[in-house]
Structures are given as C-alpha cells and as structure tokens.
Amino acid sequence: MSSKTEASTPTATVGDRLNGVILRAQSGFFWVQTDAGMFECRLRGKLKRERQTTDLAVIGDEVEISVVSPNEGAVEAVLPRRSKLARRAAGSKGAFKEDVMVANVDQVLLVFACAQPAFSPRMLDRYLVICEYSDLEVVIVATKVDLVAAEQAEALFSVYTSIGYPVIYASTQTGQGIEDVRRALADKISVVTGKSGVGKSSLLNMVRPGLNLVTGAVSELLSKGRHTTTVAELLPLDLSGGGYVADTPGIREIGLWNLAPEALDWCYREFRPYLDECYFAGCTHVHEPNCAVQAAVKAGTIDERRYDSYVKLRAGDE
Ligand SMILES: Nc1nc2c(ncn2[C@@H]2O[C@H](COP(=O)(O)OP(=O)(O)OP(=O)(O)O)[C@@H](O)[C@H]2O)c(=O)[nH]1
Ligand SMILES: [Mg+2]
Ligand SMILES: [Zn+2]
C-alpha cells in the first residue's frame, strides 16, 4: 500500500471492532483501510464455512473487523454490497458462476484513445452495454486528444454526449481534461478500464502524482503472459473528498454471458423511450414492421451506427 497508509499508526486496541474498506486482496489476506489505519486481515473461519466462494470478500467491500494486533485484524462480517463488477468464472460441473471482482463500484471510467490505438466504437458500445446491464454509472474519457484535431475527436464521441453519457476529452501531453477527471473521481470508487495502450495509467499518474503506475512499453512487457487480469487493488487517490480507483487492464472478460437478448435493447439507453411503442410485444427491432426503434433510426433521432452495433450484438456477432 502507499507509504502514507503504512505510516499511519492505528490507535485501536486489541479486541476493538472497526469498520473499513478492503483495498487489497491477495492469497487470503486482506488489507483493510479504517479510520484507525490499515490492518492486514484474514477472514474468520465462520465466514468461510457460511459461504464457499472465492468472492466472499473482494476489494471495495465494506467490512467489520476485530483488531488482533496494532496492524492486524480478522474480518468478522462483510456488509451488503451496493453494487458490483462481476465476471464469469468456471464453476462446478462445467457450469459458470459469477465472480465478483470489485464491490461497491460507484462508476466505471471507460478510457478510449482518439488515436493510437484507433478508436473502436463497437467496443465502446459493448462496454456501455455491460455497464448499463450492471447498473453502473459511466464516465467516458477520450484520451490522446493532442493526436487529432478537436473536431475529429468531437466527431468520434459526440454521439455519446448526445445520448447522455459524460465525455471528458483529455491529454496527458497538454493537461487538457485532467482537472475534470480529478473531479469525476473524487469521493467515489471507480473502475478504470479500456484497451491496453489507451493511456489509463498515464492518466491516473497525472490525476494523482505519486501513484507511479508503470506506463508504455514497460507496462506492456509486464502484462505479457499475465492471463488473469483479476483486479487486486484499489488505489487511494487522496483527492479532496478521497476516492479510490482500480486500474484494470480490461473488463472484456466480463462479457455478456448472463445478458438475455431481450434485455439488450434496454442497454442502448437512447432506445428506451421507444421500447413501448413498437407494434409487436417482444419486438427485436431488427425485422418487425411498425417498429418504433427502426422508425427513430430512419427519422435520425437514433444514431444509425449505434443501431448497427445493436443489430450485430443482438445477432451474437462479436
Ligand atoms: N500523445 C499522447 N500519448 C499518450 C497520452 N497518454 C498516454 N500516452 C502514451 O500512450 C502509451 C500507453 O500509455 P499507458 O498509460 O501505459 O496505457 P494503459 O492504458 O495504461 O495501457 P495498459 O497498462 O497496457 O493497459 C504510453 O507510451 C504513453 O506515453 C496522451 O494523452 N497523448
Ligand atoms: Mg496501464
Ligand atoms: Zn421494435
């Protein structure tokens, strides 16, 4: 953990009960941030007996601990989760089960570069579906705006602004947008995601000097051969009002495994006003006559490219 948290001296005495947040989880150990400092904790046996899952306690979870020594504790209880970011994991008998990666996520920062790597609207649409389906707030960050003309960046992302997603145009070269990102992150638990090389770590380093996240070629080298991208750490941002961030390589593996095709239209938020207007109940908005969604596309109130990405996703095209 950061030197700041290590240096803080817990004032709690053995046997005290404290509430805190899990910032790091590794091999059965949990680092819990409390008002009385950081405690390295293990789970109480009774918790493990109650539920045999690996996501019993994850980063972001609010927990109650009992103090075992000046900087060690035992997790007594995990408080109910307000929200979660989960992915599909192998379960028993070849079935899949949900595996929670981060608990109590307030928002997801979807980081996409204007160039290098080239902007992929399909991928952004997919991520948005995942977030809508999980009921997670979204902030889109368009990075590397210094590499393209302002109008070009605007042309890529304006459709998302028009359907109500906040978009921050940012550059770590010029400093544009950094203050906006800082404001968006303050006092919240955020998951930062996006394809490798879009500038996630560079952005966070600038938002919060001192984080010292590895960037560029070094980062690429480290991620080679690292197949599991399990989020293991929440980084304290120490912004006014606090805030924590998980810098994750990608939420691609979360996939849309439990998303029923009927639920997909609702995940395209600009479709929602039309969903009750289609002639047929259970309209897929692909081939039916008198479809209000298709009419809105023709009328230009729904963006055609967004609609195309819906049709492809609905057909199972990845
Ligand atoms: N021109 C320009 N380059 C940037 C900007 N932000 C980051 N870069 C460069 O883009 C490359 C990748 O940046 P990273 O911050 O490592 O990207 P990342 O998203 O963390 O990548 P992974 O950790 O592999 O997922 C580095 O060479 C950065 O210097 C920017 O705003 N403008
Ligand atoms: Mg990185
Ligand atoms: Zn329809």
Residue 2 has pLDDT above 80, yes or no: no
244, 187, 192, 210: which is closest to 21 by C-alpha?
Answer: 244
Which residue is closest in CA terms to ligand 1's atom 6?
199
Class of domain 3-78: mainly beta
Rounded mean pLDDT, 273-288: 96
- Residue 200 CA to ligand 1 center (angstroms) comes to 6
Rounded mean pLDDT, 245-273: 78
Rounded mean pLDDT, 2-19: 71
Same fold, 102-254 and 261-314: no
Task: Label residue 130 exposed, middle or buried (CB < 10 Å: 0-12, 13-18, 19+).
Answer: buried
State the chain's mean pLDDT as an integer.
87
Rounded mean pLDDT, 79-85: 91
Q: For 86-116, what is each residue's pLDDT tens digit? A: 776 666 666 667 778 889 999 999 999 999 9
Which residue is closest in CA terms to ligand 1's atom 28?
216
Domain ranges of the chain: 3-78, 102-254, 261-314
Amino acid at 49: R
Predicted pLDDT of residue 220:
64
Residue 50 has pLDDT above 90, yes or no: no
225, 317, 314, 304: which is closest to 262 by C-alpha?
Answer: 314
Greatest pairwise CA separation for the chain in angstroms? 70
Q: What percent of the chain has pLDDT over 70?
A: 84
Predicted pLDDT of residue 230:
46
Q: Which CATH number fits domain 102-254: 3.30.450.20, 3.40.50.300, 3.90.550.10, 3.20.20.80?
A: 3.40.50.300
**Residue 70: band (very low, low, confident or very high) from pLDDT cuts 50, 70, 90:** very high
Q: pLDDT higher for 81 or 6?
A: 81
Which residue is closest in CA terms to ligand 1's atom 2?
144
Pocket of ligand 1 (CB under 6 A): 143-144, 146-147, 171-173, 194, 196-202, 215-216, 219-220, 223, 249
| Residue 191 parent element (H or E) | strand 189-193
Class of domain 261-314: mainly alpha
Q: Considering just the CA atoms, what is the radius of gyration of the chain in Å?
A: 22
Predicted pLDDT of residue 231:
46
Q: Which ligand is nearest to the CA of 295?
A: 3
Q: What is the DSSP string of 202-252?
A: HHHHHHSTT-----HHHHHHHHTT-------BPEE---TT--EEEE-S-SG
**Residue 215: band (very low, low, confident or very high) from pLDDT cuts 50, 70, 90:** confident
CA 279 to chain CA centroid, Å, is 36
| Strand duo 244-247 + 137-143: pairing | unpaired
